[in-house]
Structures are given as structure tokens and as C-alpha cells.
Amino acid sequence: MSTTPQNTDNQEIDLSQISKKIGSFFENISSSIFRGFLFFKRNIIWVGILFLLGVGIGLYLDKTTKVYDNEIIVNPNFGAVDYLYAKIDLISSKINDNDTVFLKEVVGIKEPKKLKKIAITPITDVYKFINNSDKNFEFVKLLAEDGDIKKIVNENLTSKNYPFHLISFTTDKETSSEKTVEPLLNFLNNSDYFKKIQKEYVNNVKVKMVENDSIISQINGLLNAFSSTTNGSQKSDKLVYYNENSQLNEVIKTKDALVNEQGAHRIEMINLDKIIKDNSITLNIKNTKAVNGKMKLVLPLLFIFIFILIGYFKSYYKHQMAKLKS
């Protein structure tokens, strides 16, 4: 019978203690805010000087230190994807090692000190990847059965087989095609092995186009002869089998396929003049990521923050010394 009043008293004591702690917590916050106000009031001149100094230095740095992003969209031909990635990785390692001699003498970049970073990434285009080959479609379909399709299309095994890739590099000043892009592309296209592959590949395409033109010419001759016979001329024994519409349709379909193939080959020949074909070049995109171009805002806040830390450390030091002396 006596346990209930005791529990009630304990609960009241606990609630009272909790209420006091909450009140003390908010009181400490209020005191801290007031002390901070007093600190700024006492040091308003120093805070103003640091703010103006930070703005001035920040404006100077924003004006003199600029970072630019540059992009080249390329199409590696003749199975040169791994070769391309290896070359870009080599250049990246030389930039990290600050090997300006290699960048200037071997790669040919006119102002190697300006080049700060380079990387290559595939341009995800799964639809073009699938349309290029039925085997590619079956490959993606097979992989999708065992995993997440989004992960599959972006993984290294698949992405390196996309036709287009993005070479991005960063410079600390504006650059030009003559100073950076052309030397870089010349370096990437300087491969004796792939030059031999390119020569044979182009010859094969040319031979194929000549043969296709010959077949199209023969089909045109047959169609012209058939047209003549159907317009009242005497039929030849050799053309009797064309009386069937299905056979004539097959001939027309064959011609149509060959004409489309010839068109594809002509477009293909445009892209085969280089091992690493550049399709688009974009230079000198001003980089405003992170603190780039924002130093006039960052430095004043940084200086004031450091000043506050120093003031807090001095106060803490005095407080501890006073405790030791007492």
C-alpha cells in the first residue's frame, strides 16, 4: 500500500530534475549567444578589417585564378577503345607527376603547366549500342536477366563498347585547339599498329562499295530489261522467271538493302580518316564548382571563423589558467 505514494514522489522528483536541466540548457544557449554578441561588439573593428581584407583578396584571386573545363567527344575506331583509355591514363599520370617535359616533348602540348587534369568517360547510349548489332541486343538482354539494367549499362564491361566517349580536361587559363586539342589528338592517333589496321579496314570498305555498285548496276540492268518486256517488247527466255511477283520483289528488296548499305558505308568513310575520331570540341567553359569564382565570399567568412577560434582558444586558456591558480 505504501509503494504508490513513493513512486509518485520519485516521478515528481525526476520531472523536476528534467525540467531544471532543460531550463539550464536553454539558459546556456542564451548566455552563449549573448557572449558571442559581446565578442563581436568588442572586436567590431577587427571583424570589419578581416571582412574587407577577405573580400579584397578574394576578388583578386577570382580575377587572376580561373579554372576552365574543356571537352572532346571522340569515336575510337578499329577496336581502339582500350588503347584510348590507356593513353589518357598515361597522360593523367604524367600530369599528377608534374612531368611537363613529357607533356610538351612527347604529347606536344604547347603550355603543359596550364593542364591540371584529364579524364575519359563513356557516353552512355545503350540504344545506339543495341542498334549497332543484334548480338549487342542479345548481350544486354542476357545480362539484364541476372541484374539491374541501370547498373549493367554503366558498368565497365558494357560502357567501353559504346561508340562515343568524352575526354574532359581542366586548365587554369584559357586554351586553344592549336595549343592543346590538336597535339592531344595527334598523340592519340600516333599508333603504327592501328594505322595498319586502318589501312586494311578502309581498303575492305572500298572494295565492298565497288562490289555493291557492280551488283546494283546488274540489278538495274535486269529491271530495265524486265520493264521493256512488260511494255510490249518480245520477252526473252532468260527473263521468263521474273513473271512471278515474289521473285521481282526479292530483287527490289536486295537493291534497296544494297543502296542503304552504300549510304552507311559513305558515312562510315567520313569517320574512318582517324583512329580516334573527334566529333565535337568545346573549350574554355568557366568552372564555378566548389569555391572556384567564389573566393570573395569564402575568404571573409574563413578569416572571421579563424578569428573566432583564436578568441575562443584565448578565453579557454585564461579560464583554465584561472582554475589552476585558484
Q: What is the pLDDT of residue 146?
A: 60
User: Are 140 and 282 members of one domain?
Assistant: yes
Q: What is the residue-averaged pLDDT of the chain? A: 80
Q: What is the pLDDT of residues 253-299, one digit of tens each?
A: 888 888 998 998 898 898 899 999 999 999 998 887 776 777 788 88
Q: What is the pLDDT of residue 166?
A: 94
Q: From the centroid of its chain, how far is CA 230?
A: 61
> Does residue 189 surpass a pLDDT of 70?
yes
Instruction: Give the amino acid at 260.
Output: N
Q: What is the pLDDT of residue 242?
A: 45
d(CA 34, CA 211): 90
> Does residue 239 surpass a pLDDT of 80?
no
> Does residue 3 surpass a pLDDT of 90?
no
Contacts 24+ apart (CB under 8 A), 259-267: 259/216, 261/212, 262/209, 262/212, 262/213, 262/216, 265/205, 265/208, 265/209, 265/212, 266/209
Q: What is the pLDDT of residue 230?
A: 63
d(CA 161, CA 189): 19
* Residue 185's CATH number: 3.30.70
User: Are 87 and 166 members of one domain?
Assistant: yes
Q: What is the pLDDT of residue 1?
A: 47
Q: What is the pLDDT of residues 79-131, one digit of tens each?
A: 899 999 999 999 999 999 999 999 999 999 999 999 999 999 988 766 666 56
User: Are 132 and 106 members of one domain?
Assistant: yes
Domain count, the chain: 3
pTM for the full model? 0.69
Q: What is the pLDDT of residue 11?
A: 55
**Structural contact between residues 162 and 122, judged by C-beta atoms closer than 8 angstroms:** yes
User: Are 182 and 101 members of one domain?
Assistant: yes
> Does residue 152 surpass a pLDDT of 60?
no
Q: Stretch 22-46: mean pLDDT, rounded? A: 76
User: Are 133 and 281 members of one domain?
Assistant: yes
> Does residue 306 surpass a pLDDT of 60?
yes
User: Are 143 and 281 members of one domain?
Assistant: yes
User: Are 128 and 179 members of one domain?
Assistant: yes
pLDDT greater at residue 86 or residue 5:
86
User: Are 41 and 117 members of one domain?
Assistant: no
User: Are 183 and 205 members of one domain?
Assistant: no
User: Are 96 and 187 members of one domain?
Assistant: yes
User: Are 15 and 54 members of one domain?
Assistant: yes
User: Are 119 and 187 members of one domain?
Assistant: yes
Domain membership of residue 316 as a residue range: 3-63+293-325
